[in-house]
Structure 1
Amino acid sequence: MPRKPPPTKSRTAAGAISQLRIIGGRWRGRKVAFAPIEGLRPTGDRLRETLFNWLQFHLPGARCLDLFAGSGALGLEALSRGAAAVDFVELDRGAAQMLRQQLDLLQAEGARVHNCPAQVFLEQPGEAWDVIFVDPPFAGDLWANTLQTLVAGDRIRPGAFIYVESPRSTPIPTPADWRLEKEKHAGQVCMRLFRA
């Protein structure tokens, strides 16, 4: 199974705490903690730097969705770089709780954490997004259903950017009117940025 490099860990009295560093924007250099849950693989610094270089002119004022948020690395980076709002969707209760704590510490405005399955969240009515991050667990096969539900729910603004991270060998079925803007491979990981 393709895996990203493991996040750095530090030891505390409470046990292992995983951390990541925000690499740009108002919180640049800040370290945030996340739940050390098996299978959780935050997008690494180099990949995040590439992604947010792609998106740098589209984030200020944007409404973003971080599906399968996990550590919240992508949504936190978006907020740090000027996004107006981010919906973080995370199934694991511990990860969602830790993410809320980190957002409180950062005094982040415009952030909402939803502790529920991505499919359930996408089926609910609500506002549309300008930037959407789709980075599900690599062990599952969630890309097709997630993108299908996302499109069916009419929650994508015209011209929105959809970032999809997947194993290199995984085909990503997208609507015919989506345009592939950027693509990069890093080891067995494939980064794709589409525009709706």
Structure 2
Amino acid sequence: MRIVGGTLRGLKLADVGAGDATAHLRPTTDRVREAVFNLLVNGTHGNPLPGARVLDLFAGTGALGLEALSRGAGHATFVDNGAKAQALIRGNVAKARAEGATALLRQDATRLAANRDAPFGLVFVDPPYALGLGERAVASALQGGWLAPGAVLVWEESRQPLVPAPFVLLDRRRYGDTLVTLARLSQA
């Protein structure tokens, strides 16, 4: 697994192989990550990356947030409650030398505490598939004040997620068993 674009392009990240079922780790493949970032950068909805505050929920290895930093985001906060994920994220952040532009929170993404910092303009949600955790995490982020008006949501699932009403669907694409949904939070 490598960073596929930007200033860190080619950086090899910690390898978890096919994933870790007990830790619910299922890293986004390089191919899907590249497709996601192509949609973000080249989509008709405008590139949300330059200077963005990124929230990476169910962060796993941190690859999505690190890819965003590599492509111009200003900050990434990784949220994962697994010990193995925490270790992988810390290692990958160190490899990227991105400690000054990141934060790592060990908490359940479906039960976020109230946000005490600036809200986030780009949010990645990559939960364990088909358990309804993505819907709960997005609801928790909305309720806790984690999302800025106009925030772009990138949601990976095996099935079509239930995107809540304050979001407007921008795009939806299937890559193998992964369905990527892009949506934008209304401005008001």
Q: What are the Cα deviations for residues 142-193 of structure 1, in whole angstroms up to 9, with x where unaligned?
A: 122112112212221111100111113xx42223231111110122321100
Aligned residue in 1 for 2:131: 140
* C-alpha distance in 1 between matches for 2:130 and 2:171: 24
Q: Which runs of 5 or more residues in structure 2 are unaligned? A: 42-46
CA distance in 2, matches of 1:147, 1:106: 28
- Match of residue 20, structure 2, among 10, 23, 37: 37
Percent pairwise identity: 39
CA contact (8 A) 2:109 2:140 kept: no
Please identify which structure carries the higher strand content. 1
Separation in 1, partners of 2:138, 2:107: 17
- The answer to whether 1:183 aligns with 2:172 is yes
Provide Cα deviations, 1:104-154, integer angstroms capped at 9, x if missing partner: 22211311111221134x223322100000110115321221121122122
Aligned partner (choices 77, 81, 85) of residue 75 of structure 2: 85
Matched residue count: 174
> Which residue identity lines up with residue 152 of structure 1 in the other structure?
Q
Aligned partner of 2:44 in structure 1 is none
Q: Conserved in 2, the CA contact under 8 Å of 1:178 and 1:194?
A: yes
Equivalent position amino acid for 2:139 in 1: Q
Q: What TM-score, normalized to structure 1? A: 0.82
- Output the CA distance in 1 between the equivalents of 2:20 and 2:179: 23
Q: Verify the 8 A CA contact 1:75 1:88 in the aligned structure 2.
A: yes
Give the structure 1 partner of residue 3 of structure 2. 22
Which shifted more, 36-45 or 122-131? 36-45
Secondary structure in structure 2 of the residue aligned to 1:180 = strand
Q: Distance in 2 between matches of 1:74 and 1:107?
A: 16
Q: In the alignment, which of 130, 145, 152 is matched to residue 121 of structure 2? A: 130
Gaps in structure 1 of 5+ consecutive residues: 1-19
Judge conservation of contact 1:63–1:86 (CA < 8 Å) in 2.
yes
Q: Distance in 1 between matches of 2:20 and 2:165?
A: 36
Q: Which amino acid aligns with 2:7?
A: R
Select 1:194's aligned residue among 177, 183, 188. Answer: 183
1:71 aligns with 2:41: no
* 1:22–1:30 Cα contact (<8 Å) kept: yes
2:110, 2:138 within 8 Å by CA — same for their partners in 1? no
Q: CA RMSD in A?
A: 1.7
Q: Which has the larger radius of gyration?
A: 1
Q: 2:107 & 2:165 partners in 1: Cα distance?
A: 29
The amino acid of 2:177's aligned partner reads Q
